[in-house]
Amino acid sequence: MQWTDSDAGERDTLKMSACVFDGTLVPVSALFENLGAGATIDQFVDWLPRVTRERALAVLRHAARSLLAAP
pLDDT score for 4? 55
| 48/68 Cα distance (integer angstroms) | 28
Parse the chain into domains and list their residue ranges.
3-69
Per-residue pLDDT at 59: 93
Taking the CA atoms of the chain, what radius of gyration do you get in angstroms? Answer: 12
Q: Which residues, given as ranges, of the chain have pLDDT below 50?
A: 16
Which of these, 21, 63, 66, lies nearest to 45 by C-alpha position? 21
CA dist list (Å): 25 to 21, 31, 68, 71: 7, 13, 28, 31
Q: What's the pLDDT at 66? A: 84
Q: Which fold has domain 3-69?
A: Arc Repressor Mutant, subunit A (1.10.10)
Answering whether pTM is above 0.95, one says no
Contact between 60 and 50 under an 8 Å Cβ cutoff? The reply is no
